[in-house]
Amino acid sequence: MPGTRTAIPADLVDLPVGALCALIGPPGSGKSTYAARYPDSWRVCLDVYRRFATDSEAEQSATPVAAEIQNLLLDARLSRALPVLVDSTNVFPHVRASLLARARYWQRPAIAVPFDLPLATVEAQNADRDRVVPLHIVREHHQLLPDADQLYREGFTAVHTISELLATSAASHR
């Protein structure tokens, strides 16, 4: 039912009713592992929709269609005041601006969760990922991670920085 609160583990960010939560971090920083600890219907993920469209989550030509699917789901959930977790890198300001515009349109809070982990940790986790992303992309995305001040300036209502590895769940994730 729209607006219903769901109990989530105590060490996770508690999302206000109807919040849009942008996970922000390079490939391998642990976004999908983190998202897997929330109810699975809360997550939108470009990798998943690229795979649905092409059988490959890496197929960048499918990013426009994946973004359309994501936007439909964002609107469907935000309009009902249901929380939504955006599980993509979100390291580019124009991508975050588009998410913020949707949250603003529906008058919902926008929460940022940047994954600020050492590059060595991210590189090691990327090597252990379902799909290993080329190192130069991991490094470029790691450098682009915005700090909390920037995220507040962009319009996020709260910023919760993840700066150490959290417990994981047994739930599968991609």
Ligand X SMILES: Nc1ncnc2c1ncn2[C@@H]1O[C@H](COP(=O)(O)OP(=O)(O)O)[C@@H](O)[C@H]1O
Residues in contact with Mg ion by CB under 5 A are 32
Contacted by 114, from ligand X, Mg ion, none: CB < 5 to 8 Å by type: none
Would you say 71 and 29 are in contact if contact means Cβ atoms under 8 Å apart?
Answer: no
Cβ-based nearer residue to ligand X, 74 or 86 = 86
Contacted by 29, from Mg ion, ligand X, none: CB < 5 to 8 Å by type: ligand X
One-letter amino acid at 27 equals: P
E-assigned strands of the chain?
A: 20-24, 43-44, 84-87, 110-114, 158-159
Contacted by 83, from ligand X, Mg ion, none: CB < 5 to 8 Å by type: none
Residue nearest to ligand X (CB): 30
Strand order in the sheet with 158-159: 43-44, 84-87, 20-24, 110-114, 158-159
Smallest gap from Cβ 122 to ligand X, in A, equals 8
Cα(16)–Cα(110) distance, integer angstroms: 9
Q: Interface with ligand X by CB under 6 A: which residues?
A: 25, 27-33, 125, 128-129, 165-166, 168, 173
